[in-house]
Amino acid sequence: MAAVQVLQQLGLTEAEAGLYMALLSSGEATASALARKTATNRTFTYDRLNRLVNLGLASHIVKGGKRYFSAANPNQFLALLRDREAQLQAVLPQLEALKSKPSLSPGVTVFSSRKGVQTALNLVLKERKPVFVHGSLLGFRRVMGQGFDIWNQRRARAKIMMKVLTPEDVTRLELANAEVQELAEEEKAATATFTFGSRAVIAFWSEVPVAILIESREIARDNIAFFNSLWDRDVRIYSGVDGIVKAFYELIAEKNGYYLGVGYSWALARVYGTRISDKWHEVRIKNNVDARLIAYDDDKSLGYFRERMGRWKKFHVRFLNKDVCGPACVTVSNSLIATFIYTEGSFRVVVNRNMETINAYKRHFERLWAIARKYNSGTK
């Protein structure tokens, strides 16, 4: 957010904010010089300078019969904020006394504009209770800009736990003290629902954002129950290289288990690299997990997996034509099945914990394993 915009939010007009910054960069200047620098009328410049002086943001001295103005230290804005906070604290009891008693029906308030939406979402910080977010956080960041960064940092510092269900890859948003689960891409929308305490805020990330605040314990409770039903579902989605690695480790988390995969290739191995693969194998062997893979039978995949079989114990690979393997890499363990979908610049993993699906794919793997070719020097 530009400095002029921040100063406007602190109570200055756009012209006053621009004048203060011009004065700050000039060091000391007459009203006439400042009028020329800001391309504004001299009379208006005097009026704005007088207001800055009254706010304690500027001062003047007389030299040679002329008034020279200089800007106060920018820290003065912090003093102004403290003064305003003290004034507000003084009248808060009076304002609270005027507030009507809560109605039994849900209270609904509509906020329009970035400032209004920020006001609604700052209630999360005031409530200091866990917040359940369903929808677009990238929209929040795109529309609100620095407003999102400040909100997210304040939430993390206040140790407000956040759970997020989103169809987006939000790994770059630095969401401390938060848990994230991804939804299917088809669920993308330019909205987000924030549920916390007895309140819910529905935000619409349009060019002029809108937020609807609903104050109802019953609605908040139902929202959280629905959120948890999605959170505990059998199917989950991970994105990016981190998502691929996370799924790989979940597949070998159970000791004395099995790891059965179809559709592996040199191309997929390049995504996560040999260093990550070596660490994964160390954990797999420690957990006593036997791995069997069916890989593509192209030359690069044959060479890569031949080397890996020679290096690691309990690691067996056979080979099939790419068309027989299918369009995705599918891997089964004792308690989950992971489908790795990797295209140019896009990596997603669909993780399913449904035992019926796991057993069906395990049977399918064994049929493919029976017809797959072992590696030998005559292969291909």
Is residue 166 within 8 Å of 183, Cβ to Cβ? yes
Rounded Cα gap, residues 368 and 158, in angstroms: 53
Rounded Cα gap, residues 312 and 289, in angstroms: 12
Burial classification of residue 362, based on how many CB atoms lie within 10 Å of its CB (0-12 exposed, 13-18 middle, 19 or more buried): middle
Query: What pLDDT sits at residue 238?
Result: 81
Give the amino acid at 36.
Answer: R
Query: What pLDDT sits at residue 333?
Result: 94
Adjacent-strand bridge partners of 291: 259, 315
Give CA separation, 106 vs 103, 216, 227, 247, in Å.
7, 5, 20, 42
Length of the chain: 380
H or E stretch at 200 = strand 199-204
Query: What pLDDT sits at residue 125?
Result: 93
SS3 category, 297: coil
Give CA separation, 281 vs 17, 225, 258, 288, 380, in Å.
60, 39, 13, 10, 27
Instruction: Say if strands 107-112 and 210-215 run parallel, antiparallel, or are unpaired.
Output: antiparallel
Q: Which residues contact 285 (CB under 8 A, 6 or more apart)?
A: 312, 313, 314
Adjacent-strand bridge partners of 317: 293
pTM: 0.53
Query: What pLDDT sits at residue 165?
Result: 93
**Domain 237-374 CATH assignment equals 3.30.870.10:** yes
Could you name the CATH architecture of 105-233?
2-Layer Sandwich (3.30)
Query: What pLDDT sits at residue 104?
Result: 53
Locate the domains of the chain by residue range.
3-76, 105-233, 237-374
**pLDDT less than 70: residues of the chain:** 1, 100-105, 186, 343-346, 376-380
Is residue 1 within 8 Å of 49, Cβ to Cβ? no
What would you report as the CA-atom Rg of the chain, rounded to the nearest whole angstrom?
A: 30
Q: Which residues contact 268 (CB under 8 A, 6 or more apart)?
A: 329, 340, 342
**pLDDT one-digit tens code per residue, 299-309:** 999 999 999 99
**DSSP classification of residue 256:** T
Q: What is the CATH number of domain 3-76?
A: 1.10.10.10
**pLDDT one-digit tens code per residue, 335-345:** 899 998 876 56
Query: What pLDDT sits at residue 49?
Result: 86
Query: What pLDDT sits at residue 14?
Result: 86
Question: Would 3-76 and 105-233 be classified into the same CATH topology?
Answer: no
